[in-house]
Amino acid sequence: MRRTFMRLWLVVLGTLALTGALLPGTALAVDLPGGKRIYAVTIGQVAPAGTTPTGNEFSRLAMYYFNGDGTVREGFWFWSWNQGYPGVPIRTTSAGCDNCKIHTAGGFQTGAEVKSLHGKYTTSGNQVTVTWDGGVTENWTVATPEPGISAISLTGSSYGANVGQGYGSNASNDLAIPMNEVPKKAYRGRYAHNFYVQPSGSTPGRLSSGTGASKIDLALEGWKQCNGDCLSGLFDAGPNACTACPDGKPGKIRYYMASEGGRKNFYEHFCTCLVQGGSTPCYTGGSHRKPQLQVIDDAGKFRGWVGIEAQHREPRRGTLGVHWHVDL
């Protein structure tokens, strides 16, 4: 009887193997996108360049964790243009430079809620489709710009997201590069954002949008290592920057790049002509606040950032968008 049962069980196993059926508790292996497990991602809804935003646009900064069984988890921070986000000071200051507080967009400070999503993903060639619980989908194209790192670019979604870029590796999620070890080089990338244009005089403001190439150039003279957690730079403003300066001159721009540890970095800049308060060089107004996540390759090498900008203390004012800057 025992031998008969074993023969029957072997027949069942063979039938399952031939038909592709799975035993309870068994999961199919699914290729990791680009062979990489963890991605730092910026994603959002941005009105096409030169068009009028609806006011419902959003930005999201996230870490995507792909598992080899076809499941994916996302930990993320979210900003809606329908809501204002006043700046929040972080713990790190620019002590060693101008000794000012550094600000980030509300919702990215230490202790702020990190939201999460769970879902499933499928791969086909260089395409990845993510279906989050609830049914919304994202479609990405995968590329491998260099060994040890992969990139994903958003090609579409079912819920309004139309711009997205991420970079992934198999480096530990706990690995982060201290600010005083970030290579001082140029990190080139791109931005796409919605913004509010406020002309001078009594002319009403209007909503608009734009996109283009940009860079964070830490190789420029003028950057100073304030302390182990902060860099700062002071540079002449370009002809289209600092247009709000009261004397009509281009003025200068103060930059901060800071960290409190981990992959979260805090990028902030403002026109120094707007600083008020006598002898203090510190600014507490509507600075450009750009939460960022570090991009790190398989070897643990720092490669740049993905980020968002949430410079809108009031709903549908200021600037809201996504950007990425890497040395690839």
Q: What is the mean pLDDT of residues 167-196?
A: 97
Residues 203, 194: Cα–Cα separation, whole Å: 20
The DSSP 8-state label assigned to residue 209 in this structure reads: E
Tokens of 124: 């086909």
Task: Give the 3-state secondary structure of residue 301.
Answer: coil
Tokens of 172: 């530990």
Residues 104, 44: Cα–Cα separation, whole Å: 18
pLDDT at 6: 42
- Going by C-alpha positions, the residue among 138, 20, 164, 155 that lies closest to residue 72 is 138
Q: Can you point out the beta strands (E) in 81-185? A: 87-93, 101-105, 115-124, 127-132, 137-146, 149-157, 163-169
pLDDT tens-digit series, residues 198-213: 776 667 789 999 999 9
Residues 80, 194: Cα–Cα separation, whole Å: 11
pLDDT at 202: 66
Over 80: is that where the pLDDT of 247 sits?
no
Q: What percent of the chain clears pLDDT 70, i.e. is strictly above it?
A: 89
pLDDT tens-digit series, residues 254-289: 999 999 999 999 999 999 988 876 667 899 888 999
The DSSP 8-state label assigned to residue 274 in this structure reads: G
**Amino acid (1-letter code) at residue 264:** K
Per the CB < 8 A criterion, the answer to whether 149 and 169 are in contact is yes
For the chain, what's the residue count?
328
Over 90: is that where the pLDDT of 18 sits?
no
300 CB-side CA count, 13 A = 7
- Cβ burial 24-51 (10 Å sphere, 16+ → b, else e): eeeeeebbbbbebbbbbbbbbbbbeeee
3-state secondary structure 30-69: CCCHHHCCEEEEEEEECCCCCCCCCCCCEEEEEEEEECCC
pLDDT at 201: 63
pLDDT tens-digit series, residues 24-57: 444 568 999 999 999 999 999 999 998 999 999 9
Q: What pTM does this model have?
A: 0.90
β-bridge mates for residue 118, sequence order: 73
Residues 283, 320: Cα–Cα separation, whole Å: 20
β-bridge mates for residue 167, sequence order: 40, 151
pLDDT at 249: 72
pLDDT tens-digit series, residues 210-237: 999 999 999 999 999 999 999 999 999 9
Kind and range of the H or E element at 191? strand 186-197
β-bridge mates for residue 191, sequence order: 212, 323
pLDDT tens-digit series, residues 128-167: 999 999 999 999 999 999 999 999 999 999 999 999 999 9
Tokens of 151: 């990139």
β-bridge mates for residue 141, sequence order: 127, 153
Residues 50, 198: Cα–Cα separation, whole Å: 15
